[in-house]
Amino acid sequence: MVVKNVKLNLKEITHNVFVAGNYIFTKSRYLPHYGEKKLNDLREWIPSRSKLASMLLEYRIEFDAEWKCLYLGAASGTTVSHLSDILDKGVIYAVEYSAKPFKKLLELAEERKNIIPLLKDASKPEEYSGIVELVDFLYQDVSQKNQVEIFLKNVDFFLKKGGSAIIMVKARSIDSTAEPEEIYEKVLEELRKKVKVIKYGELRHHKDHIFVHCIKH
């Protein structure tokens, strides 16, 4: 495959995810969703638009096509659309509380049958506990001051024992006056009280953010 006159040496890093240097793609039978390019059956995954794409360029996790996923902070579905390509035999419960981006998320869910959009507040999991089942994978990207509390509450409610969870931490949302490193230390301390932290690291395309990959005991 050739992009901008560069020949790509594509490598599949997990189900339906292909990487070549700084490029990342998901294999997809759907049309572009947010202005990304489509090259044959590969959809460009823009790392500056998706923290998960940025993370996967640096750090690998293994996805299973059949996983059930709870996604908190779905917005208009940029990252959800790629996860939907990856978990193509699974299901994604996509929670977003803002009506404006939710409209576009609904359009995405209409064409893709593995996305269940929920216009709900992620800090109140009890309000969707009748809909969402136990999941294998939980992903959170809500940029809120109390994002760790929201994350752990949802882990408690919905993540299977041994299940994987990723939280995208935005330092400036938690405290805009403290140094990011100070905030990360506090976040990690809070997380370690409840879950096993496997790995964390900075996101090259998203300033003052880290990902934290956890497992539920």
Ligand X SMILES: C[S@@+](CC[C@H](N)C(=O)[O-])C[C@H]1O[C@@H](n2cnc3c(N)ncnc32)[C@H](O)[C@@H]1O
Residue closer to ligand X, measured from CB, 30 or 97: 97
Shortest approach of ligand X to residue 34 CB, angstroms?
8
Which pair of tokens denotes residue 70?
Answer: 């709870």
189 Cβ contact partners less than 8 Å away, ≥ 6 residues apart? none
Is 141 among the residues that bind ligand X (CB under 6 A)? yes
By CB under 6 A, residue 14 contacts ligand X? no
By CB under 6 A, tell whether 166 contacts ligand X. Answer: no
Q: Could you say which of 73, 117, 163, 180 contacts ligand X (CB under 6 A)?
A: 73
The 10 Å Cβ neighbour count of residue 35 is 9
CA atoms of 25 and 176, how far apart (whole Å):
33
- Angle of helix 51-58 relative to helix 78-86, nearest 10 degrees? 50
Range in contact with ligand X (rule: CB under 6 A) among 2-10, 19-27, 72-80, 83-91? 72-80
Alpha helix positions (H), 31-174: 51-58, 78-86, 99-111, 147-158, 171-174
Q: How far apart are CA 127 and CA 13, in angstroms?
A: 36
Size of the site for ligand X (CB under 6 A): 18
Cβ atoms of 21 and 177 within 8 Å: the answer is no
Q: C-beta of 67: minimal distance to ligand X in Å?
A: 17
Q: Does residue 121 interact with ligand X by CB under 6 A?
A: yes
- Is residue 95 a contact residue for ligand X (CB under 6 A)? yes
Candidate list 36, 44, 85, 96; residue touching ligand X; CB under 6 A: 96
Residues that bind ligand X (CB under 6 A): 50-51, 73, 75, 78-79, 95-98, 101, 121-123, 141-144
